[in-house]
Chains A and B, each alone.
Chain A
Amino acid sequence: MRAPTAPARRLPRFSLRRIAAVLGKEFIQMRRDRVTFALILGVPLMQLLLFGFAINNDPKHLPTAVSISDPGAFSDSIVAALNTSGYFDVVSATNSPETARRLLAEGKVSFVVEIPANFSRDLVRGTNPELLIQADATDPASSSNAVGALGELATDALRDDLIGPLAVRAPQRPSFTAVIHRLYNPEIITQWNIVPGLLGIILTMTMVLMTSMALTRERERGTYENLLAMPTTPVEIMIGKILPNIVVGLIQAVIVLLAAKFIFKVPMIGSLPLLFGVLVIFIAANLAVGYTFSTIAESQLQAMQMMVFFLLPAILLSGFAFPFRGMPVWAQWVGEVLPVTHFLRVVRGILLQGNGAAEIWPDVWPLLLFMFGMMTVALLRFRRTLD
């Protein structure tokens, strides 16, 4: 006797009661899992403190050595100007260029400013002496603003000294002045950009992690077999496992936003309800990614490794770590696929620019598309048997 080649498979009914059952079970398990709880609260706080306080794309008070081969009033003015710029802290003043250079090589200072012999004489004579500035450019991003400030310094530092007969030596004013308006973040406070961005990164990290464990944990503990032997359907299990984590994600978002407002004083111009609406979509999209991982991974360790693979591009290519427009085109395309890229635009747009629904829509539909796409993949991947 042969079995029919294509057995008719009736789709099981979708039951809200069964979803509620899975949901209840997940909430109880989450409550009892202290490590997860620590993760929920610890990750956002830790990341906020690390990124929010420790990382600064516009570092100031960089240690600077000055080697003065021509002491005098001009040299004093230059040192004073360096200190008052805010970017430089003159920690060492020496008369030996070698000593200063050694400090730079040893990493004790980031800049060396050399005032050559006869600087004052040449300046007064008008032979345009040179001021040598050496910068530790191993991290170009961190020193670029300071180097920019040095350029302006040369024009301004000696203005007060070059008076009377020396006034002719004062640098010529440019025939026009470039006026730069720094919109949305006029003081270029890094945290205003980083803290909302962190919201996206923290949620990506914890949300993908939470659900990537969802099925692998059941599999490792042997409870998966039981779950499959009962009349629960893949959709019900997925919804039951994703919903509790949306609550977790929203709690994290509240923590980050409270810190943003009260610790980092990030302005919140736009609508918070709108932001939370997008947050739910973004959180669900990440949970769907994690859930898909958990249908593929055979162990919790594998699920964890997959999460790292997803997290790296999320940090590097989303515009969180580097300016999005500065990346090569292919990297921008990869970035466009990631939900966090769109979320960063939305959250910065709402908080800093006060964008409304119409302005953020171009970044909301890709989030929705990604979320539904991922959920479909997860359901297709879900195996209803142990084969």
Chain B
Amino acid sequence: MSNGELAIDVHGLTKRFGTKVAVNRADIQVPVGEVWGFLGPNGSGKTTTIRMLCGLLRADEGSGTVLGFDFRAQPEQIKREVGYMTQRFSFWEDLSIRENLEFVARVYGLPNVKEVVTAQIERLGLIKRQDQLAGDLSGGWKQRLALAACMLHQPKMLLLDEPTAGVDPKARRDFWDEIHRLSDEGLTVLVSTHYMDEAERCDRIVYINLGDIVARGTVAGVIEQSGLHTFVVQGEGARALAPQLHGKPGVDFVAFFGAALHVSGRDPAKLKAALEPFAQQKGLTIQESKPSLEDVFIQLQEKGRGAYA
């Protein structure tokens, strides 16, 4: 690889749709073998970024390489080395599992199509369902099929766009185990998601809001960078406190976590002062705690909304 360790090394990635800036001068450097998570609200530019990286959308600006190829000039070469899993299931529902995989294998020009496909079907435990039409599969099985198809040509990198949307927790867990196994074998993975537990399983996360990368780093690092302080309010009547705390000086936002309330702000002194009046309330415990990733994301999203609203 020409760039040493970087699987993705792009600078100033920009995409405009009309006057709307979907992705704004994004710099992304992903080392080989790492699992990176793309996070951000709907419409923030995650899908657009992934599509530009694998040559499905033309970037308006930006330069750099993906797997050592100029991502603007050599999309065809990149396509051969990348497995891309679309957000919506995009295999042929009127073809069976086997037929879908065989089609993909032929398009990539793999030798011994039948054997390669059989091996892949066996590996994924799909042998009994191999002649079932893809359209008849449940969400979890569709996702397995899609991953199997993406991996068929042994790509060096996987680009996964919300791969676990609409998939049950067990299937989600299995999926991530598979991702980590592949990553251990040296595969680079870029995955977009809305799930916090998935974000926490990534080596690094990138948070995009309205086209801008607003945070990046390890999970701990992103929490650290946020400068956020959080108090957890628990006990009787905790939920009733939310409207009273809302908008108080020092309180940036209030969020429900089950029966508990997370009250967060960047100025610990003011935050403490805001909570002071309730400290003595009966049956209520107020404790300072480490902000969770979700707290940080809520803050980032609120910040973004404030800046653009």
Chain B min CB distance to A238 (Å): 15
When each residue 132-173 of chain B gets 1 if its CB lies under 8 Å from chain A and 0 otherwise, what string results?
A: 000000000000000000000000000000000000000000
Q: Are A223 and B106 in contact (CB under 8 A)?
A: no
- Report whether B94 and A21 are in contact in the complex, using a CB–CB cutoff of 8 Å: no
Question: Distance (Å) between the CB of B173 and the closest chain A CB?
Answer: 26
Q: Is the CB of A226 within 8 A of B103?
A: no
The answer to whether A73 has its CB under 8 Å from any CB of chain B is: no
A31-56: which residues lie under 8 A (CB-CB) from chain B? 32-33
Tell me how far the C-beta of A164 lies from the nearest C-beta in chain B, rounded to whole angstroms.
84
B118: CB under 8 A from chain A?
Answer: no
Known: A3-B61, A33-B94, A387-B58. A229 touches B106 (CB 8 A): no
Q: Cβ of B12 < 8 Å from any Cβ of A?
A: yes
Are B106 and A18 interface neighbours, CB within 8 A?
Answer: yes
- Known contacts A1-B12, A29-B94; decide if A231 and B107 are in contact (CB<8 Å): yes
Contact of B104 with A9 in the complex, beta carbons under 8 Å: no
Within 8 A of A (CB), among B44-65: 51, 54-59, 61-64
User: Which residues from A are CB-within-8-Å of B51?
Assistant: 386
Tell which of B72, B92, B103 touches A7, judged by Cβ atoms closer than 8 Å.
Answer: B72
* Nearest CB on A from B280, distance (A): 57
* B62 neighbours in A (Cβ, 8 Å): 3
Chain B residues whose C-beta falls within 8 Å of the C-beta of A1 in the assembled complex: 11-12, 63-64
Nearest-neighbour CB distance to chain B for A33, whole angstroms, equals: 7
CB interface residues, A 1-19, toward B, < 8 Å = 1-4, 7-10, 12, 15, 17-18
- Tell me if B108 counts as interface (CB < 8 A to partner A): yes
Contacts of B231 in A (CB 8 A): none
B292 within 8 A of A: no
Query: Which residues of chain A are within 8 angstroms of B275 by Cβ–Cβ distance?
Result: none
- Taking A21-B107, A229-B79, A229-B84 as contacts, is the C-beta distance between A222 and B72 under 8 angstroms? no
Give complex CA distance A18, B104 in Å. Answer: 10
Q: Return the contact of B95 from the options A3, A12, A29, A386 (Cβ within 8 A).
A: A29
Residues of chain A within 8 A (CB-CB) of B92 are 25, 29, 221, 223
The answer to whether B104 and A230 touch across the interface, beta carbons within 8 angstroms, is yes
Known contacts A385-B55, A386-B56, A9 near B86 by CB under 8 Å: no
Q: Which of A9, A12, A17, A386 contacts B106 (CB 8 A)?
A: A17
Q: In the complex, how many angstroms separate the beta carbon of B148 from the nearest chain A beta carbon?
A: 14
A225 within 8 A of B: yes
Complex alpha-carbon distance, A21 and B95, angstroms: 13
Of A8, A28, A229, A385, chain B has the most CB atoms within 10 Å of the CB of A229
Give, as a whole number of angstroms, the nearest-CB distance from B231 to chain A.
45
Q: How far is the CA of A225 from the CA of B79 in the complex (A)?
A: 12
Residues of chain A contacted by B297 (CB below 8 angstroms)? none
* A228 interfacial contact with B, CB 8 Å: yes
List chain B residues, Cβ under 8 A from A221.
90, 92-93
Residue of B whose beta carbon sits closest to that of A223: B90
A18 touches B94 (CB 8 A): no
In contact, A8 and B73 (Cβ under 8 angstroms): yes
For the complex formed, measure the closest distance between the CB of A245 and the CB atoms of chain B, giving whole angstroms: 17
Return chain A residues, CB-CB under 8 Å to B54. 229
A229 closest partner in B (C-beta): B84
A interface residue count range (under 10 / 10 to 19 / 20 to 34 / 35 or more) = 35 or more
Among residues 69 to 88 in chain B, which have CB atoms less than 8 Å away from a CB atom of chain A?
A: 70, 72-76, 79-80, 82, 84, 86, 88
Q: Tell me the complex Cα distance, A386–B108, Å.
A: 21
Q: Which residue in chain B gives the minimum CB-CB distance to A224?
A: B90
Q: Beyond A225-B56, A229-B79, is A3–B108 a contact (Cβ under 8 Å)? A: no
Query: CB distance B80 to A225 under 8 Å?
Result: no
Beyond A17-B109, A223-B90, A387-B57, whether A231 also contacts B103 by CB under 8 A is: no
Q: Of residues 1 to 42 in B, which have CB atoms within 8 Å of A's CB atoms? A: 11-12
Residue of B nearest to A23 (CB): B106
Q: Is B253 an interface residue (CB 8 A)?
A: no
Q: Are B86 and A226 in contact (CB under 8 A)?
A: yes
Q: Would you call B198 an interface residue if the criterion is a C-beta within 8 Å of the partner chain's C-beta atoms?
A: no
Residues of B close to A232: CB separation below 8 A: 107
Question: Which residues of B (81-134) have their CB < 8 Å from a CB of A?
Answer: 82, 84, 86, 88-95, 99, 103-104, 106-109
When the two chains form their complex, are residues B73 and A25 in contact, meaning their CB atoms are under 8 A apart? no
Q: Is the CB of A25 within 8 A of B91?
A: no
List residues of chain A with CB within 8 A of the CB of B11: 1
Determine whether A171 belongs to the interface, using a CB cutoff of 8 Å to chain B. no
Q: Which of A21, A25, A228 contacts B56 (CB 8 A)?
A: A228
Partner of A25, one of B76, B80, B90, B95: B95
In the complex, the answer to whether A230 meets B91 with C-beta atoms within 8 Å is no
Q: A126 CA to B73 CA in the complex, in Å? A: 97
Judge if A107 is at the interface, Cβ distance under 8 Å. no
Chain A residues within 8 Å of B84, by CB: 226, 229
**Would you mind naming 24 contact pairs between A and B with Cβ atoms under 8 Å apart?**
A1-B12, A3-B59, A3-B63, A10-B76, A17-B109, A18-B106, A21-B103, A22-B107, A25-B99, A25-B103, A28-B94, A28-B99, A29-B94, A225-B86, A226-B86, A226-B90, A228-B56, A229-B54, A230-B79, A230-B107, A231-B76, A385-B55, A385-B57, A386-B51
Q: Ordered nearest first, which 6 A-B pairs have the shortest CB separation? A: A7-B73, A21-B106, A226-B90, A3-B63, A229-B84, A222-B88
List chain A positions with a Cβ less than 8 A from chain B.
1-4, 7-10, 12, 15, 17-18, 20-22, 24-25, 28-29, 32-33, 221-223, 225-226, 228-232, 384-387
| B contact residues vs A (CB 8 Å cutoff) | 11-12, 51, 54-59, 61-64, 70, 72-76, 79-80, 82, 84, 86, 88-95, 99, 103-104, 106-109
9 more A-B residue pairs beyond the given contacts A18-B109, A231-B109, with a C-beta to C-beta distance below 8 A? A3-B59, A12-B76, A15-B109, A222-B89, A229-B79, A229-B84, A386-B51, A387-B57, A387-B58
